Amino acid sequence: MEQINFSQHERDVIYQVIHARRDMRHFADGEVSDEVLSRILEAAHAAPSVGYMQPWRFVRIKKDELREALIALVEEEKDKTANQMDERKAEFMRLKIEGIRDCAELIAVVLAPDDGTIFGRRTMPEEMALCSVSCAIENMWLAARAENLGMGWVSFFDPNDVATLLHCPEGSKPIALLCLGPVKAFYDKPMLETEGWRSREDMGAILGENHYPISHIKS
């Protein structure tokens, strides 16, 4: 393979997609072609993984009754979450938090059972495998945005219930229901910021020098 040297223009395009990517919950009519979906999944599979485990598994939901069963699990979990929200419950209930019914494609992402890899994960076995799967999802997100498609990560479910529905083997763990498809428009900012749910952190609060960022040390 030739050594790619990205030009300044290409670099800017890559930053554009990183900054334009959004967690979408509003979807439009339309389909995702097999060709496009294949490119997005290949992007996922190009992710880094600890010890080259490649612990990511994807389940494309094609049956309507399976999507309905997953929707029911998500609705149940949304209610449970709302009931733990206390004073922000009404505000939470007004937010559109997922587009699982409206998106063109629904893809479950599952952490594979531990294969015993020690390389790079002796001290943090589950964490490092999970991080690898998550890098694959971020690749998909950016690939989807590059295709001008929206993607949203739904985590409102009990992983055991999803595992049962998708016939996942023991030791595996579903971590995402990805909603993918055409959208009318992308949010200008993260929806939870626009809706006033939470603010963006300053860089100073997340970056430290030789030391954990000071403002976040609890006294």
The reply to whether 47 sits near a copy of itself by the rule CB under 8 A is yes
DSSP 100-114: TTT-SEEEEEEEPPP
CA distance 180 to 33: 12
- Taking the complex as a whole, how short is the minimal distance between the CB of residue 31 and a copy of itself, in angstroms? 16
Show contacts with a copy of itself in window 151-170 (CB under 8 A). 153, 155-159, 166-170
- Minimum CB distance to a copy of itself smaller for 80 or for 96: 80
The reply to whether 71 sits near a copy of itself by the rule CB under 8 A is no
Contact pick of 32, 137, 177, 179 for a copy of itself (by CB under 8 A)? 137
The reply to whether 94 sits near a copy of itself by the rule CB under 8 A is no
The reply to whether 5 sits near a copy of itself by the rule CB under 8 A is yes
The reply to whether 89 sits near a copy of itself by the rule CB under 8 A is no
162-to-43, 52, 140, 166 alpha-carbon distances in Å: 24, 26, 21, 6
CA distance 105 to 40: 12
Contact pick of 27, 32, 59, 179 for a copy of itself (by CB under 8 A)? 59
- Taking the complex as a whole, how short is the minimal distance between the CB of residue 180 and a copy of itself, in angstroms? 14
Contact pick of 75, 114, 131, 182 for a copy of itself (by CB under 8 A)? 131
- Taking the complex as a whole, how short is the minimal distance between the CB of residue 100 and a copy of itself, in angstroms? 13
The reply to whether 112 sits near a copy of itself by the rule CB under 8 A is yes
Torsion of CA 186, 188, 195, 208, to 10 degrees: 120
- Taking the complex as a whole, how short is the minimal distance between the CB of residue 102 and a copy of itself, in angstroms? 18
The reply to whether 218 sits near a copy of itself by the rule CB under 8 A is yes
83-to-80, 184, 191 alpha-carbon distances in Å: 5, 32, 22
Number of residues binding to a copy of itself, judged by CB under 8 A: 111
CA distance 25 to 78: 14
190-193 contact pairs (CB < 8 A, 24+) = 190/22, 190/23, 191/22, 191/23, 191/25, 191/95, 191/96, 192/95
Show contacts with a copy of itself in window 172-211 (CB under 8 A). 172-173, 175-176, 185-186, 188, 190, 192-193, 197-198, 200-201, 203, 206-211
The reply to whether 34 sits near a copy of itself by the rule CB under 8 A is no
CA distance 189 to 211: 30
At residue 160, φ and ψ (nearest 5 deg) are: -65, -40
